[in-house]
Amino acid sequence: MTTIYHNPRCTKSRLTLALLEEKGLSPTVIEYLQTPPDAEELTRITTLLGIGPRDLIRTGEAVYKELGLGDASDTDLIKAMVENPILIERPIVLANGKARIGRPPENVIDIL
């Protein structure tokens, strides 16, 4: 089963979804701004990606600065992403027990 955490307004996210479909996949599409992952799922995703929460957060978003997350702990970063899903880097593809961020979209090919 393949899942994509998707933002339809994001070009990279749309391109990654199109790439999955070109590969003959019908992924489960989670529009994470409407249905954000909970803290447990975000922790699982960072583990599958092999990164920390700071590497999954979009530091250029205004809310990042508003919340003063520069020195935040991993727990606080996860909480901030759950409460403000716009902070989550996108798109994220989960497949075959692995995860990749689709930036660029071709990053996901090796887990399909």
The arithmetic mean of pLDDT across residues 12-35, rounded, is: 97
DSSP string of the chain, one letter each residue: -EEEEE-TT-HHHHHHHHHHHHTT--PEEEETTTS---HHHHHHHHHHHT--GGGGB-TTSHHHHHTTGGG--HHHHHHHHHH-GGGB-S-EEEETTEEEE-SSGGGGGGG-
The arithmetic mean of pLDDT across residues 62-86, rounded, is: 97
Statement to judge: residues 55 and 25 lie in one domain: no
State what percent of residues in the chain have pLDDT above 70: 100
Statement to judge: residues 70 and 94 lie in one domain: no
Statement to judge: residues 26 and 60 lie in one domain: no
Closest CA to 40 of 73, 95, 82, 76: 82
Closest CA to 41 of 86, 92, 7, 2: 92
Statement to judge: residues 28 and 59 lie in one domain: no
Provide the domain limits for residue 57. 37-88
Task: Provide the pLDDT confidence category of residue 45 given band limits of 50, 70 and 90.
Answer: very high
Statement to judge: residues 72 and 101 lie in one domain: no
Which residues are catalytically annotated? 10
CATH number where 59 lies: 3.40.30.10
Task: Provide the pLDDT confidence category of residue 66 given band limits of 50, 70 and 90.
Answer: very high
Statement to judge: residues 45 and 77 lie in one domain: yes
Statement to judge: residues 42 and 57 lie in one domain: yes
Statement to judge: residues 22 and 51 lie in one domain: no
Statement to judge: residues 49 and 80 lie in one domain: yes
Q: Provide the number of structural domains found in the chain.
A: 2
Task: Provide the pLDDT confidence category of residue 18 given band limits of 50, 70 and 90.
Answer: very high
